[in-house]
Amino acid sequence: MPDTMQSSPVGPIAIVSHTHPSVTKGGAEIAAYALYEGLRRIGADAIFIAACPAADRHKLILGSDREFIVVTDPLRYDHFYQLSSSDVWRQIKSILLRNQVRLANFHHYLNLGVNTLRALAAETDIPFAVTLHEFLAICNHHGQMVTRPARRLCDQATPTNCATCFPEHSRQQFVMRRNLIQSALLPAAGYISPSHFLADRMVAWGLPREKFVVIENGLRNVGKREARNRALVEGTPWTFGYFGQLTPFKGADTLLDTIELLAKQPDIDKKIRIKVHGNIVGQTPEFVERFNTAFARHSFINFAGPYDNADVRTLMAACDYVLIPSTWWENSPVVIQEAYAAGRPIICTGIGGMAEKVPSRRSGLHFRINDPADLARVMGEAADEVLYQALCSGLPDVTDHTAMARDYLATYGRLLKYRAEAEAPANLTRTSARRRGRAAAAAQVAAAAGE
């Protein structure tokens, strides 16, 4: 039941996601679904639309009759230009019109296609907003802004630089890619970003700053933080937890290198514990073998495997710190909000959205990117009761899904007002043209009648 009835300024709202959280557990779909539930909770009229590959329909669990699925065929999707089959737009259009949607908020265009945004603007009067979760519009390397094969941070994507990373595509193709995606995004009423860092990058790429709003991702069911009184367990090792997929982008290589360095310290198993929660998906056999060997060899590390997102705060509360060693800029990782909700400070790479969300020595500590020796140093520094309590005291409040929904609802109203004001001169011109056309037609009729 809604906790506070709050009427929508626009009528039915569609939250559109590139996948459903019952199928995949990425941050973007979790944030999109939390927003949908938050809107429903405060009494706004909202529906949830998610793409789902036909092969994954057996995994799908819908929460109500206000959730809809767009069935997709991955083989008919172009990942370079981000184009979907025309059938995707037909399904989305049918859902939007059938539910009389007055505003659509896309949380991604992956799987849905930028051509869907273009068709929405061309074929309907339904305004749309786009919530951006990474840099896919700018970067063809999974939106990470990391070069290949060297995996160095990229500060600015240009057609020339991108063609160097992807020699199978020409510079001209990257110009076309940029123009195509920009032309699909520019008609949006506005853009929402969970971080200033991402918003600034997208503005530098070509989107208008006046259309941007920064809104923090909210978590469902933010409860009371669990204090961790280490004085009661004095002498036990400090526990560092890793949560998420084990991929190079998430810093799994850096973590493994750090483990090998720590293993050389005497009595390390009496000083620290590292608990790894997550899964290994799509990695090379060499990486999997290295990972398994490390966990079999060292007693101070434990691989707990995949976890249910509903349990993540309990699992984090069993740690002292949460590790985020990502090697790309990130935006606003959900794991940061989850750690704060669990009452745990963070040790993260000091770049991009992570540095923005985790101020150094206030709610966490930073280490240098791709530097296992520096991560080992910072973990040693973190094993200090005075510093730990200071960082715990500096943890910020966590936005819940209803507060996020209220911010979004207010933003929808402002974006639509801005859009109406911007279009007013054009509307007046079109109205005047229609009046002149009607007058000319009437004159022609009168002349034909001999009046």
Single residue among 367, 393, 419 that ends a domain in this structure? 393
Each residue's pLDDT tens digit, 54-68: 999 999 999 999 999
Q: What pLDDT shows up at residue 336?
A: 95
Q: Are residues 85 and 210 in the same domain?
A: yes
CA dihedral (386, 391, 397, 399) positive or negative: negative
pTM: 0.86
**What value does the mean pLDDT of the chain take?**
89
Question: 50 pairs with which residues across the strands?
Answer: 17, 69
Read off the tokens for 244: 């998420």
The enclosing H or E element of 445 equals helix 401-448
Q: Are residues 257 and 353 in the same domain?
A: yes
Residue 404 falls within a domain, yes or no? no
Residue 75 falls within a domain, yes or no? yes
- Mean pLDDT across the stretch 112-139? 96
Q: Are residues 248 and 364 in the same domain?
A: yes
Each residue's pLDDT tens digit, 177-210: 999 999 999 999 999 999 999 999 999 999 999 9
Query: What are the CA-CA distances from residue 5 to residues 10, 12, 245 (Å)?
Result: 15, 14, 38
For the chain, the domain total comes to: 2
SS3 content of the chain, % helix, strand, coil (to 5): 45, 15, 40
Residues in the chain: 451
CA distance 428 to 218: 40
Single residue among 214, 246, 275 that ends a domain in this structure? 214
pLDDT at residue 31 greater than cutoff 60: yes
Q: Any alpha helices (H) in 281-384, and if so which ranges?
A: 285-297, 312-317, 334-342, 352-357, 372-382
**CATH number of the domain that residue 140 is part of:** 3.40.50.2000
Q: Are residues 382 and 261 in the same domain?
A: yes
Residue 450 falls within a domain, yes or no? no
pLDDT at residue 228 greater than cutoff 80: no
Lowest-pLDDT range, 301-305, 310-314, 426-430? 426-430
Residue 267 falls within a domain, yes or no? yes
Q: Are residues 197 and 293 in the same domain?
A: no
CA distance 20 to 68: 10
* pLDDT level of residue 448 (50, 70, 90 thresholds): very low
Q: Are residues 243 and 342 in the same domain?
A: yes
Q: What pLDDT shows up at residue 427?
A: 55
Q: What pLDDT shows up at residue 25?
A: 81
431-450 burial by CB neighbour count: b if 16+ within 10 A, else e?
Answer: eeeeeeeeeeeeeeeeeeee
Nearest by Cα to 327 from 310, 351, 344: 351
* pLDDT level of residue 5 (50, 70, 90 thresholds): very low
Range of the domain at 298: 230-393
Q: Are residues 255 and 152 in the same domain?
A: no
CB 298 within 8 A of CB 259: yes
Q: Are residues 241 and 210 in the same domain?
A: no
Q: What pLDDT shows up at residue 3?
A: 46
Single residue among 188, 214, 240 that ends a domain in this structure? 214
- Mean pLDDT across the stretch 218-246? 80
Residue 251 falls within a domain, yes or no? yes
CB 284 within 8 A of CB 292: no
- Mean pLDDT across the stretch 255-259? 96
CB 364 within 8 A of CB 347: yes
Q: Are residues 200 and 55 in the same domain?
A: yes
Q: Is residue 175 exposed (0-12), middle (13-18) or buried (19+ Cβ within 10 Å)?
A: middle
Q: Are residues 90 and 203 in the same domain?
A: yes
Q: Are residues 203 and 249 in the same domain?
A: no
Residue 263 falls within a domain, yes or no? yes
Residue 400 falls within a domain, yes or no? no
Three-state DSSP state, 330: coil
Q: Are residues 236 and 206 in the same domain?
A: no
Concatenating the DSSP letter of every residue in 38-80 gives HHHHTT--EEEEEEEEGGGGGG----STTEEEEEE-GGG-BTT
Residue 409 falls within a domain, yes or no? no
CA distance 384 to 238: 9
